Amino acid sequence: MTESAWTRWPSREALSREGVSRPRRMLAWAVRLLVLGMLLWGVFSGSPARGWGAVEGAAGVIVAAVVSWALFRTTFAHRLWSSLTLITVLLGIAVAAQVAGFSEAALVIWCGCGITALERMPLAAALPVTSVALASYAAVNNDVWLTTAATVTGMALAGYVLRLDAEARGSAQRLLAQERAARAAEAESAALAERTRIAREIHDVLAHSLSAQLVHLEAARLLIEGGADRDTILERVVAARGMAREGLAETRQALSALRGEMSPLEDFLSELVAAADGSDITVSGERRHLPAEASQAVRRVAQEALTNVRKHAPGATVRVRLEYAEHQVTLDVRDSGGSPGELTGSGAGYGLLGMRERAELLGGSLETGPGEEGFVVTLKVPV
C-alpha cells in the first residue's frame, strides 16, 4: 500500500549527508556550534543559578546534546516511537530549564524541536510536536505578540523548507544511483555481447577450418592404413595444410574485425571471389560504411556460401551480388550447379544453420534453396 504524504518519512537519502557539499556541511556544523554556544550562554550568563546550579545546567545542556544526536539517528532509521520519545525528552528538558530559570536555553530547545520535527519526521507526527514546541516558545517569549507570531511562522516555514530541500537532494541522489546502476548494467550487457561476439567469431572460424582439416587428416590416416600410394596420401596432407592456412587467414581477419580494422566489404568480397575460378561479383546501390556486426555477417555468409559451392559443386560458376538499399544490405550468391565433390558429406560445423542464426541475431533473414540452375543463398541484413 502506498504511503500518503502525511505518514511518509523523508527518505534516508534526504536525511543523510550524502550529496551535501563541503561548504554546506561546514555551515551546518557552524549552526550546531552556535546553538550549543547559545545554550551554554543561557546557563552561565544572566541566570540565577550559581555553583552547583550552573553545573546542573551545563549537565542538562550535555544531556540535551546527546538526546539530539540520538534523535538524528532514530529519524534516519525511520523509528517513529523512539523518535517521539526522544523529542518528548527534549521538550521536557526545555520545560525543566524554564522552571530552573534558564529561559534562553529553553527557548532554543523549543525552536530546535519544532524545526527538526518538520524537517525529519512524518508530517502526521511532526505537526503536533511542532505545534507544542512553538506554542511553548510563544507562551514564554516576552516579545510583543506580532513579533512572536512572525518568529513562530518563520521557524515553521524554515522547518518545512528544510524538509523540501532535503527531499529534493534525496531524489537527486536516488536518480544518480539509478543512473549509475543503469550504466553498470549497460556496461555488463555490452561486455556480455562482446564476449558472445568473440565466441561466435571463434566458432565460425575455427570450427569450420578444423572440421575440414580433420576430414582430410582422417582420410589420410585411412589411406595409410589401407596401403595407398604416396601421392594419394600426400594430396590429402597438402589439402589439410591448405585448410590450415585458410583457417589462419580467417582467424586474422576475425581478429582485425574485433579490433575494428576490417578492410572495405567490397574489397573483401572481390578478393574472395577472385580466389574462386569462374566467379564474378556485382555491387549496386550507394556504397556506405556498415556496422561491424552487419559487415561481418555478410563476410561470413559469403565465405560459407563459396565454401559450400567448392564442396558440393566444384567447378560451378558463382555469381555474387551485393546490393545497398536504404534500410538494408542484400547479399545474393548463386551457383550454376555441378557434380558433388569429395567433401559433400563432411559437414562444415557452421553451415546454413550458423548463417541463419547470425542473420536472425541482427534482425535479418537468410533464404537458401535450389535456384534455376544450382543453389541460391540470399542474406538480408538491416542497417
Distances (CA, A) of 96 to 50, 86, 115, 315, 341: 17, 15, 20, 108, 106
Burial state string for 309-323 with b = 16 or more CB within 10 A and e = fewer than 16: bbbbbeebbbbbbbe
Per-residue pLDDT for 177 more than 80?
yes
Q: What is the pTM of this model?
A: 0.48
Cβ atoms of 93 and 63 closer than 8 Å: yes
CATH fold of 265-383 reads Heat Shock Protein 90 (3.30.565)
Distance CA 123, CA 117 (A): 8
Average pLDDT rounded to a whole number, residues 59-75 = 86
Cβ atoms of 20 and 169 closer than 8 Å: yes
CA-wise closest residue to 348 among 306, 318, 296: 306
Q: What is the DSSP string of 209-249?
A: HHHHHHHHHHHHHHHHHTT--HHHHHHHHHHHHHHHHHHHH
Per-residue pLDDT for 29 more than 70?
no
Give 32's pLDDT tier (boundaries 50, 70, 90).
low
Distance CA 97, CA 56 (A): 10
Give 258's pLDDT tier (boundaries 50, 70, 90).
low
pLDDT of residue 348: 42
Distance CA 57, CA 42 (A): 9
Distance CA 196, CA 324 (A): 27
Give 137's pLDDT tier (boundaries 50, 70, 90).
confident
In the chain, domain spans: 12-142, 265-383
Give 89's pLDDT tier (boundaries 50, 70, 90).
very high
Q: Which of 37-41, 269-273, 351-355 is predicted with the least confidence, judged by mean pLDDT?
A: 37-41
Give 349's pLDDT tier (boundaries 50, 70, 90).
very low
Per cent of the chain over pLDDT 70 is: 79
CA torsion, points 223, 227, 232, 234, in degrees to nearest 10? 80
Average pLDDT rounded to a whole number, residues 360-370 = 86
More confident residue, 316 or 57: 316
Average pLDDT rounded to a whole number, residues 230-238 = 83
C-alpha cell recorded at residue 240: 589439410
Strand, helix or coil for residue 281: strand
pLDDT of residue 85: 92
Q: Count CB-CB contacts under 10 A for residue 180.
A: 10
Distances (CA, A) of 366 to 162, 209, 281: 63, 22, 19
Residue 278: left if φ>0, alpha if ψ -120 to 50, beta else—which one? left
pLDDT of residue 279: 76
Average pLDDT over the chain, rounded to an integer: 78
Cβ neighbours of residue 349 under 8 Å, at least 6 residues apart? 203, 207, 208, 210, 211
The β-bridge relationship of strands 375-382 and 328-335 is antiparallel
Q: Which of 52-61, 66-75, 272-281 is predicted with the least confidence, judged by mean pLDDT?
A: 52-61
